[in-house]
Every structure is written in structure tokens, then in C-alpha cells.
């Protein structure tokens, strides 16, 4: 997998299967910054809105109730439009 995978509004059963509620929480204010994933990250957005632009790729909009998988090795730019609060887990 080399692209961002987004599952919009997964149901509670799916979130429970993944134990999302047990994952740590990350928060970040409105900002813009570069990021490279050393390992695959799966996250679930509780609050906020972001545009993530992979290096050489197209921007992807992500927001509340999105379950997202970022592939290992991907470099991108995060542009946080509304403050973010998300559960996350690294593979």
C-alpha cells in the first residue's frame, strides 16, 4: 500500500474490533508541517479537519469520523484547518 486509505464513518462494530477507544490520543492546533511516516499509522479523527498532501501526490481531505491508514515511508504535508483530536496506532 502506498496511498492514504480513508474509511468514511466506520460503524461502531468496526471501531470496537480495532479497539480504537484504547489507542492514544493526539491533538494539534491549526498549523502546517511536513511529515514522514516511519511505520504505518492507523488513526480515527474525533475532531478537526486536515488536508494531507503526499509528496508528488494529490491532496486528501480528512475530517471527523474518518478512519485513515497512512502507509509506511510516505512523506507528506499536513495542513490543519480545524484543530485535530484523533486516536492513533502505529503498526
- Give the tens place of pLDDT for each residue, 21-32: 999 999 999 999
pLDDT tens-digit profile of 64-73?
999 999 999 9
Domain 5-90 has CATH 2.40.50.140: no
Q: What is the pTM of this model?
A: 0.95
The domain limits of the chain are: 5-90
Using the CB atoms, write b or e for 49-83: b if 16+ within 10 Å. bbbbbbeeeeebebbeebbbebbeebebebbbeee
Amino acid at each position: 500500500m502506498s496511498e492514504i486509505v480513508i474509511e468514511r464513518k466506520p460503524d461502531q462494530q468496526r471501531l470496537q474490533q480495532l479497539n480504537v477507544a484504547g489507542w492514544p490520543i493526539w491533538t494539534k492546533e491549526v498549523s502546517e508541517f511536513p511529515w514522514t511516516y516511519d511505520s504505518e499509522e492507523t488513526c480515527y479523527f474525533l475532531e478537526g479537519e486536515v488536508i494531507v498532501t503526499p509528496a508528488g501526490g494529490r491532496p486528501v481531505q480528512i475530517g471527523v469520523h474518518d478512519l485513515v491508514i497512512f502507509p509506511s515511508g510516505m512523506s507528506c504535508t499536513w495542513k490543519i484547518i480545524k484543530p485535530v483530536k484523533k486516536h492513533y496506532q502505529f503498526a
